[in-house]
Chain A
């Protein structure tokens, strides 16, 4: 065997154990398998579709990820997203010519307000996150019915410039993908390089220890729900623009898609660990699976089961690799 210095050996191990590496291998294998089965899957336009479909899920999952890292969960993602989208849709329905980018900002601010309610409930009132966000999930969904009076906002009620928001390009990159990259950049920096970002991990790892270390745990908890709200509020506007429709029951259950994306991406459901790059791959993997099942025209009766199977396979494969590597590490230390 090739002799490696301990440092190099550890570096190699770290790369292999990285969730992202195993996920990427799995994703590539999946792409190759599907492409062999139906060559039409392998085209630039189709990969463009896949990324566009992953964009909204990917952005909303950043928020869910930060909440889960602190040991919480945000079940209000789908309702909050739909509520912010409906509010912006209603503005257009009432003929206010709002600039689409201001609409995005407005949606994000609405989400921020919705998220801060979750934040207050969890950090100040001490309500368990699952209960707090379960409550607001229903409240936000109920509010959609109330403000929209049960009516939808349809394509003909939205100005062209707004409908084109999700369809346009910045510097040759589709807006949705540009916005996704933008937020991943910001939050990658925030979570890896800024003190507040690192404190999120500390709170999730051990809240008591974090408190003793002088971290304001309540402030961090409040912040993650608020940021999650900000992101899903923004997603709500993108959603309405993308589908050119604001519907009272849109994005029902979307919170579970975000949870799936982050779990695939390697975020521990017990809090404390998880990387934003993994979450991005997780969201893209979900989009690939959905697209592949549809392009290969697999019987719809099989689709749900296959979808679940592939997701489990991705996670199990990762767990197996991690386990093996951990054993190698232990053995390496003993020798």
Chain B
């Protein structure tokens, strides 16, 4: 009888300890990214882990084997069952994830989208990597500097359906309308589908079709690296300038040898770091998730929540970061 009582007591005590530790704000925040094996998201993960160490929450990182919305839905379903406190998500489809994320929010889970957003109905907040407008414009500015504001230029994008790239390209066109670019002419936009061999072939096609081409902008890491390789293979580096968005590790070789003088990208570590801080602030009640509120984001300082065009709420990370010969050595091993 006594032993039985002891067992019950011990069990009760253990339960009590577990409840206490849960109520001691030991939150679990899960990051769900587009697909496994992408160095960009590995860097986001690093930022999340950094925030977890500073704020003391449990950090889970999950990615579907191939980048599909279906894979992400299955993962989020499992996270709801595990009763995580917050989900950070970079969505493969802005609409397909809304129902499952709504279900998560109904269970009290905070949802912060980052990198690639979900529709406002499926999130509390969105962390915008940088203003789409700034990203589009900066690439034209970088290229214009390289070719002295003169000559034919082309864009080598990812797939023709990619919302990110298409919006940036629209802003590139806006920037090109300014009078200082009147001697620059956008002659072609081609799509390498983010595949190495297709991007390479498309780059070769541009060289052949436009013998007077002076510069190429490739707003995607596979495209910009494949174009750099094609330029070198054809002995065209230095003759045709190259810029775009790319991972420093992929582009280090080409930035060092001058095939591409500079590229831009936001910092994915900061992306993971800041989105984690945002989710944590929602959990602790530091912010309610309303327009105009200021959120503390650790070493990055403070950011303000603003209304977006689609009626949702977002926080903007900042201007894109430019990598060139002077700073590439600090960054190529980071991501």
- Residue positions of A touching B, CB distance < 8 A: 38, 40-41, 43, 45-46, 49, 53, 142, 144-145, 148-152, 154-156, 167, 242-245, 247-250, 290-291, 293-297, 300-301
Contacts and interface: CB of A to CB of B under 8 A. Distances in A.
Contact of A148 (B37, B200, B206, B332): B37
Listed residue (B65, B191, B198, B208) with the most chain A CB atoms within 10 angstroms of its CB:
B208
A148 B250 CA distance: 15
Listed residue (B39, B190, B251) with the most chain A CB atoms within 10 angstroms of its CB:
B39
Given A148-B37, A295-B205, 10 more contacts: A53-B197, A155-B225, A155-B250, A244-B229, A249-B35, A290-B198, A290-B201, A294-B202, A294-B206, A300-B160
B119 interface: no
Contacts of B249: 152, 154, 156
Contact of A247 (B42, B196, B332): B196
Interface of B: 35-39, 42, 65, 160, 188, 190-191, 196-198, 200-202, 204-206, 208-209, 211, 222, 225-226, 228-229, 233-234, 247, 249-254, 256, 332
A238 to B, nearest CB: 12
Contact of A150 (B39, B202, B206, B225): B39
Contact of A297 (B198, B209, B229): B209
Nearest to B206: A294
B67 to A, nearest CB: 9
Contacts of A243: 196-197, 200, 225-226, 229
Given A145-B37, A300-B191, A301-B160, A294 B42 contact: no
Contacts of B35: 249
A305 B201 CA distance: 17
B234 to A, nearest CB: 8
Contacts of A295: 204-205, 208-209
Chain B: interface secondary structure? helix
A152 B204 contact: no
A40 B211 contact: yes
Contacts of B208: 40-41, 43, 46, 49, 294-295
8 contacts: A53-B201, A149-B42, A152-B250, A155-B250, A156-B249, A156-B253, A245-B250, A291-B204
Contact of B188 (A149, A245, A297): A297
Nearest to A52: B233
Contacts of A291: 201, 204-205
Contact of A167 (B204, B209, B228, B233): B233
A151 B253 contact: no
Given A294-B190, A297-B188, A154 B36 contact: no
A60 B313 CA distance: 50
Given A144-B37, A243-B197, A245-B225, A40 B253 contact: no
B205 A155 contact: no
A151 B201 contact: no
A145 B228 CA distance: 25
B256 A294 contact: no
A71 B188 CA distance: 45
A154 B208 CA distance: 27
Contacts of A242: 229
Given A167-B233, A243-B226, A297 B205 contact: yes
A148 B249 CA distance: 15
A155 B196 CA distance: 13
A150 B254 contact: no
Nearest to B204: A49
